[in-house]
Amino acid sequence: MPRPKPTRLNSLWSPLQLLWPAITIHWAAFKEAFRTRGFAALWSPAKQLDLGVASLLIETSEGFIQYESTTVVPSLVKQSRGKILELGPGPGNQIHRFDSDLVEFIHAIDPNPHFKDDIAKKLQDTDLESRYKFLACGIEDSDILRAEGVTEGSMDTILSIQVMCAVNDPRVIMKEIYKLLKPGGQFIFWEHGKSQDTLTSIAQTLWNPAWSTFVGCNMNRDIRGAILAAGDWEGLEDVKVEDDPLTFLPRTWGVLVKKA
């Protein structure tokens, strides 16, 4: 039987497929925090949101891995080489996709500390365990990164798989990424952002407050614009943009090289 074609109405309600499970996971995380910490759990909402987002991404990890395996993500990750900075590794969904023969060392950074144990478990099944380090920080935390040798012009590869939607300001983060890359270093990305379709972009804006709160990222950012504006890149002609006007999460991806 042929699949029914997507409609504008179906597209409008499609975020509920992930949003409702996200809300239930956040509620479960809050109830557990309230059970163990009492009313003190009410005074740290940011920590509660971090725990809820981590719980959501850990619980849906296998589903995301299976989905990304049907996309260009595996082939993009395999191009990572040398000294690598992985942004927002989450529960370590990309660990098995690195070509260990090309990896000198991977620093994986995420300000949410709740992914550390899951990443450690995934590393046990690879030969990257001694060449992979998780840091609970953001790219803005230059003191922490500097202590690990992640300094201006030091990275061969920076990898970003669905990360720019969740940072505070993609343009600021992209400027930092450009600084950290060596001349000739590569920025590898697979991101989602604002739809080029007017009606879908309006619907994204309507959904975004709930989506950003419970799923932990933003639907309606100009991610591609932030990436391209970060500096002087080679490979701009190869950047791809999904053109499906009905998807709420249109992808853009590519491998850009910092000009020498």
Residue 148 falls inside a structural domain: yes
Q: What is the pLDDT of residue 27?
A: 47
pLDDT tens track for 67-93? 899 999 999 999 999 999 999 999 999
SS3 per residue for 6-73: CCHHHHHHCCHHHHHHHHHHHHHHHHHHHHHHHHHHHHCHHHHHHHHHHHHHHHCHHHHHHHHCCCCH
Residue 197 falls inside a structural domain: yes
**109: which 2 tokens?**
């950074």
Between 185 and 11, residue with greater pLDDT = 185
Q: What is the pLDDT of residue 62?
A: 87
pLDDT at 98 exceeding the cut of 70: yes
Q: What is the pLDDT of residue 207?
A: 85
Residue 63 falls inside a structural domain: no
For residue 67, the Cα-to-chain-centroid distance in whole angstroms is 14
What does the alpha-carbon distance between residue 115 and residue 135 come to, in Å, rounded to a whole number? 10
Mean pLDDT of the chain: 84
Categorize the per-residue pLDDT at 237 as very low, low, confident or very high, splitting at 50, 70 and 90: very high
pLDDT at 48 exceeding the cut of 80: no
**256: which 2 tokens?**
């850009």
pLDDT at 185 exceeding the cut of 90: yes
Q: What is the pLDDT of residue 39?
A: 46
Give me the mean pLDDT over the 151-177 stretch. 95
Burial 95-133 (b: 16+ CB within 10 A, else e): bebbeeeebebbbbbbbbebbbebbeebbeeeebeeebe
Most confident of 31-35, 38-42, 70-74: 70-74
Strands 155-161 and 82-87: parallel
Indicate the DSSP class of residue 98: S
Q: What is the pLDDT of residue 4?
A: 52
Residue 115 falls inside a structural domain: yes
Q: Which residues, in sequence order, are CB contacts of 196 under 8 Å at separation 6+?
A: 241, 243, 245, 250
pLDDT at 33 exceeding the cut of 90: no
Q: Please give the share of the chain, as a percent, with pLDDT higher than 70.
A: 79
Instruction: State the residue range of the domain holding 79.
Output: 72-258
CATH code of residue 157: 3.40.50.150
pLDDT at 34 exceeding the cut of 50: no
Give me the mean pLDDT over the 202-231 stretch. 88
Residue 188 falls inside a structural domain: yes
Q: What is the pLDDT of residue 53?
A: 63
Q: Is the pTM of this model over 0.85?
A: no
Cβ–Cβ < 8 Å for 216, 186: no
Q: What is the pLDDT of residue 22?
A: 56
Residue 158 falls inside a structural domain: yes
Amino acid, res. 27: W
Number of folded domains that form the chain: 1
Residue 14 falls inside a structural domain: no
What does the alpha-carbon distance between residue 132 and residue 121 come to, in Å, rounded to a whole number? 12
Residue with tokens 């109405």: 9
**46: which 2 tokens?**
């940011």
pLDDT at 181 exceeding the cut of 90: yes
Q: What is the pLDDT of residue 215?
A: 75
pLDDT at 238 exceeding the cut of 60: yes
Strands 233-234 and 251-258: antiparallel
Cβ–Cβ < 8 Å for 134, 89: yes
pLDDT at 149 exceeding the cut of 90: yes
Categorize the per-residue pLDDT at 61 as very low, low, confident or very high, splitting at 50, 70 and 90: confident
Residue 45 falls inside a structural domain: no
Between 51 and 104, residue with greater pLDDT = 104
pLDDT at 235 exceeding the cut of 90: yes
Categorize the per-residue pLDDT at 21 as very low, low, confident or very high, splitting at 50, 70 and 90: low
Q: At what angle do helices 198-214 and 16-37 cross, to 10 degrees?
A: 20
